[in-house]
Amino acid sequence: MFQDTALFILLLGVLVTVHELGHFLVAKACGVKVIRFSIGFGPKLFAFTKGETEYQVALLPLGGYVKMAGDAPHEELAPEDADRGFLNAAPWKRALIVVAGPVFNLVFPILIYFFVFVGAHEATSTRVGFVDPAMPAAVAGIRPGDRITSVEGEPVRTFEDLREAFVGRFDRPVPVTIERDGQSTTLNVTPRKIVESSAVDSVERGQIGIQPIRKPAVLGVPAGSVAAQAGFKSFDRVLSVNGVNIPDEAALHEQLAKLQGPLEVTVQRSQPVEVGATTGGVPTLATVKLERQPGGDGFSALGAEPSDMYVSSVFPGSVAQKAGLRAGDRLVSFNGEPLRSFNVLAGELSTLKDKPFTLSWRSSTDGQEHTQQLAQTMRTSTDEMGQETSRLELGVRPWLPSSAELLPVDTVVVTLGVGEALREAVVVVPKIVGQMVKVIGGLVSGQVSTKTLGGPVMMYQLASKSAEQGWDSFLHLMAIISINLGVMNLLPIPILDGFHLLSAFWEAIRRRPIPVRVREMANVVGLILLVALMGMAFFNDITR
């Protein structure tokens, strides 16, 4: 609790200091007298005076301020300070002073990201752990264990580099260079187009169907099949075959290729357990004996198939549940085309939006096939931070390994020099600024829910959670909030820096200041707007 509070104070304290330091330094440079530089509001904790300025730290770390001489319309100045008042300064000087705070908040993240990026860091490599059998990578001949070194001549070192390399590259052959058994080979892959949408924007990206994680060997068991008769159940995870450990699908294929005759297969399966009104699952071990099936390899040698198209869960009240889909059913076709991958289904649904489609599936109870015309509907979900998001969904999920079941991914150490780290920092900050502007625009237009707003409680939670994930995560949060403060303060709302900037421009153009009465009324309106905004954020904090 004490550590979380200290991190929260550190987060706000640094950002407030950066913002107010911008105002302070530029005011001094412009010859405006600075009476007080305060970090925090309320009662003074401690202070000292140097020159003509008092520096203090106050009790409430929710903001800060720079008190300049003559920054209030009716404030009387001493004769020696008559030319050093804020409102008496030239409009261009006032503009520089007020814009300096937000600018410092927007420049400071570049420094943060520079220190995050510079030096050596461990990242997920481009070594392929799993290849979706229905996707372009498999068609092109990419296999698990291959390491991708470039995309259309563009070098890639991490899996994130690889993802970004396919932005805007789809529906055409793309040369992908791989390293296999020490040899370099270039394959032509034709990525499928997917649209990744969020409250901020949409990105068109190519998808080839690979993952860095190694996929465990999880069975899909058709009703009445040899596997079902032997005692297998859908979503059984193969742990060993004839005493040989099976960590992933590749190991299952390799081991079964060596064997004939009787097999003894140990699997892990989830045993349903009811706890009150909630049904959970407890992992149990089971041993199944059967003859190796002739003419098959991998899953088919067990009389089963991959679990890729088997439905692990169906959301209550979803389109899928209303259509009669149940956990354990196998998806067969989409708009008449056979389905072999949930990734393919997700890609098709992302482009269809709410348009109707035809879905066929096979029941897990009697093996009968069903076909219906369906359309996605909006589903609202709440994450662990209380944030609500809405998106179009069918309402089915495939089997996914839990964090305990995840196999280790291959990693690579990436070292960025000073110049490269600075270049990366300079590139990433404008992208985040653009996203912030889109979010604010979405709030005004109603496209982004006001429930996404958060106040001090949310910031406290985020500070605590990010610190648990490491200092890089905490610094990333600090950079995001700093950018948020910079963008918000540039809005032309009375009381905020943006309105003072607008006032300076107005005076420079009209050659006279905004009337005092108008300024006072605007400040009242601005105060009401800010109180309403803060009230909404506090309300969201409480309801979360």
Tens digits of residue pLDDT in 74-91: 777 788 777 888 888 888
Q: Does the pLDDT value for residue 241 go beyond 90?
A: yes
Question: Which of 127-141, 470-484, 525-539 is the least confident region?
Answer: 525-539
| Active site (catalytic) residues | 20
pLDDT score, position 11: 80
Q: pLDDT tens across 279-313, in order? A: 556 889 999 999 998 877 788 899 998 888 899 88
Cβ 15 vs Cβ 481: under 8 Å: yes
* CB contact set of 491 (below 8 Å; sequence gap of 6+): 440, 498
Instruction: List Cα–Cα distances, 290 to 220, 229, 253, 344, in angstroms.
Output: 16, 9, 17, 33
Q: Are 390 and 377 in contact (CB under 8 A)?
A: no
Q: What is the pLDDT of residue 537?
A: 61
- pLDDT recorded at residue 122: 85
Q: Domain 219-306 adopts which CATH fold?
A: Pdz3 Domain (2.30.42)
278-291 and 244-245 beta bridge pairing: unpaired
What digits encode the pLDDT tens for the residues 429-463?
888 888 777 777 776 666 666 666 665 556 556 65
C-alpha distances in Å from residue 47, one per residue of 1, 15, 18, 37, 55:
28, 19, 18, 10, 5
Q: Average pLDDT over the chain, rounded to whole?
A: 83
Average pLDDT over residues 271-285: 66
Average pLDDT over residues 326-350: 87
CATH number of 123-211: 2.30.42.10
For the chain, domain boundaries = 2-118+474-543, 123-211, 219-306, 313-397
Provide the pLDDT for residue 165.
92
The Cα–Cα gap between 284 and 68 comes to: 70
How large is the C-alpha radius of gyration of the chain?
Answer: 30
* CATH classification code of 313-397: 2.30.42.10
pLDDT of res. 460: 55
Supply the angle between the helices 471-489 and 456-468 in degrees, to the nearest 10: 150
* Model pLDDT, residue 75: 75
Query: What is the reported pLDDT for 103?
Result: 93
| Count of all residues that appear for the chain in the document | 544
Identify which has the larger pLDDT, 429 or 539. 429
Please give the pLDDT value at position 256. 87
Across the range 59-86, mean pLDDT stands at: 81
Residue pair 198/123 in contact by the 8 Å Cβ criterion? no
What distance in Å separates the CA atoms of residue 497 and residue 314, rounded to the nearest whole number? 50
Helix or strand run (H / E) with residue 196: strand 192-197
Q: What is the pTM of this model?
A: 0.64
Report pLDDT for 429: 87
Q: Percentage of residues in the chain with pLDDT exceeding 90? A: 28
Per-residue pLDDT of 115-143, as tens digits, reads 988 888 888 999 888 888 778 998 898 88
State pLDDT tens for residues 522-531: 666 666 766 6
Q: Which residues of 241-250 are buried (b: 16+ CB within 10 A; e: fewer)?
A: beeeebebbb
The token pair that represents 362 in the structure block: 């096979």
The Cα 327–Cα 233 span in angstroms is 12
**Rounded average pLDDT over 491-516:** 76
Sign of CA dihedral 131, 132, 135, 138: positive
Average pLDDT over residues 211-232: 89
**What Cα–Cα distance (Å) separates residue 379 from each residue in 71, 314, 490?**
50, 13, 34
Sign of CA dihedral 518, 519, 520, 524: positive
- CB-CB neighbours of 68 under 10 Å: 26
369 CB burial (10 A radius; 0-12, 13-18, 19+): exposed
Residue 473, pLDDT above cutoff 90: no
Q: Any residues with CB less than 8 A from the CB of 523 and at least 6 apart, and which? A: 494, 495
pLDDT confidence of 518, banded at 50, 70, 90? low
Residues forming a β-bridge with 381: 389
Burial class (CB in 10 A: 0-12, 13-18, 19+), 381: exposed
Question: Strand runs (DSSP E) across 324-419, as ranges?
Answer: 330-334, 337-338, 357-362, 369-374, 377-382, 388-393, 396-397, 411-416
Q: At what angle do helices 456-468 and 2-29 cross, to 10 degrees?
A: 110
Query: What's residue 53's pLDDT?
Result: 92
Amino acid 371: pLDDT: 93
| Whether the domain at 123-211 and the domain at 219-306 fall into the same CATH topology | yes
CA distance 290 to 242: 11
CA pair distance 187, 173, nearest whole angstrom: 9
SS3 call for 161? helix
Confidence of residue 264 (pLDDT cuts 50, 70, 90): very high
d(CA 258, CA 191): 35
Higher confidence at residue 339 or residue 274?
339
Distances 15 to 100, 353, 449, 469, 483 between C-alpha atoms, Å: 14, 40, 26, 20, 10
Helix axes 471-489 and 91-117, enclosed angle (nearest 10): 160
For strands 183-189 and 192-197, give the pairing: unpaired
